[in-house]
Amino acid sequence: MPALTLERLEKRYPGHVAASSVSLSVHDGEFISLLGPSGCGKTTVLRMVAGLIEPTGGRILIDGRDVTALPTNKRNIGLVFQSYALFPHMSVFENVAFGLRRQGVQGAELTRRVEQALASVRLSALGDRLPRQLSGGQQQRVAVARSIAPRPSILLFDEPLSNLDAALRDEMQIELKRLQREVGITTLFVTHDQGEAMSMSDRVCVLAHGVVQQFDTPEAIYHRPATGFVASFMGRPNRLGGKFARVGAGGATVQLRDGPVLAVAQAEGIADGAAVDVVVRQEDIRFLGAQDVSDAASLPRYEARVAMRSFVGSRVQYLLALGGIELIAEAATNGPHAGLEVGAPVGVAIDPRHVYVNAAA
């Protein structure tokens, strides 16, 4: 039995559809991310699951039980907000104990459950402290401990890492994933950060305009995007336009506006001569040396010129001029193509399998 099932879940407002026919089936113990840009409907879906927003249509089932009409406190869920929402006048222990006391847990059992929750987030020694005496990461872990102490069926996270700095955010991604694995609790995690979603999730649900675009593993979503939106949202895309042409048996090309002709491998259902939107991710543009014998040497080759160079830590980002268009590409800082100068000519290869084409909107 799925831990969480959404059946054609909808939320409509006058003149606006926040979520449209969202259907998901989440396995017990899975870590699922709802991913998309601001306004895509991901937080609306999570808040409907939490009972904070009433759906316009559809059903929500937790452990096979229809909870669509139940209030939040009857759904057996844990909810961690972006702001953590800790009580500033209560100790860490009392913050974690709050939900348990509301359930009627008392005495030695209360102490045992709170200590167990704090141990799971590695804060056993900080039970007497107040929230203001903790770092941002520690406050985050207290919020998680408070949510798991009542032993909910599902744990819901509403962009919980967005207030943290980059280094702490990376650390907390590992901590939350470790904790989720150890506790084994089904988790629904809302984020607009694709790095968070890809690194933490068993599966990712990508939404746009309230509609599920793709629900699959991180690898499938990245390498086999189901829609043009997913292709352009994931990774670091170059967005282009052109004219589609079929070539021979199963082959295809795109004549880019003011640019070269790109070979294309993925182009089902597009008519010959149609105007198309094209996505080529920065990381899929491969640099070629003069005597290159790598696997990229067998791919279609294009001649470019370096128009701009930016050092961004682990990689060097190049703005490349190809005819009348410009593409952004990247090279590893410690790789052989990290030292290209502005104005230098360079050969690049683009795998036709990584040219994503959709009929122009």
Say if CB 196 and CB 161 are below 8 A apart: yes
> Do 16 and 132 have their domain in common?
yes
The two tokens of residue 131 are: 């929230």
> Do 221 and 319 have their domain in common?
no
> Do 200 and 254 have their domain in common?
no
Single out the residue in 180, 207, 229 at which a domain terminates. 229
> Do 196 and 267 have their domain in common?
no
Q: What is the CATH number of the domain that holds 34?
A: 3.40.50.300
> Do 124 and 68 have their domain in common?
yes
Structural domain total, the chain: 2
Q: Is the dihedral of CA 63, 69, 75, 81 positive or negative?
A: positive
Tokens 């909870």 belong to 67
> Do 199 and 316 have their domain in common?
no
Q: Which residue has the higher pLDDT, 172 or 44?
A: 44
Judge whether residue 296 has pLDDT over 70.
no
SS3 127: coil
Say if CB 256 and CB 286 are below 8 A apart: no
Mean pLDDT, residues 125-147? 91
Q: What is the pTM for the complete model shown?
A: 0.86
Between CA 139 and CA 85 the distance in angstroms is 9
> Do 292 and 210 have their domain in common?
no
Q: How confident is the model at residue 93 (pLDDT cuts 50, 70, 90)?
A: very high
Single out the residue in 197, 229, 261 at which a domain terminates. 229
Q: How confident is the model at residue 108 (pLDDT cuts 50, 70, 90)?
A: very high
Judge whether residue 292 has pLDDT over 80.
no
> Do 169 and 266 have their domain in common?
no
The helix or strand, by DSSP H or E, that contains position 23, with its residue range, turns out to be strand 16-26
Containing structural domain, residue 293: 236-359
- The share of the chain scoring above pLDDT 70, in percent, equals 97
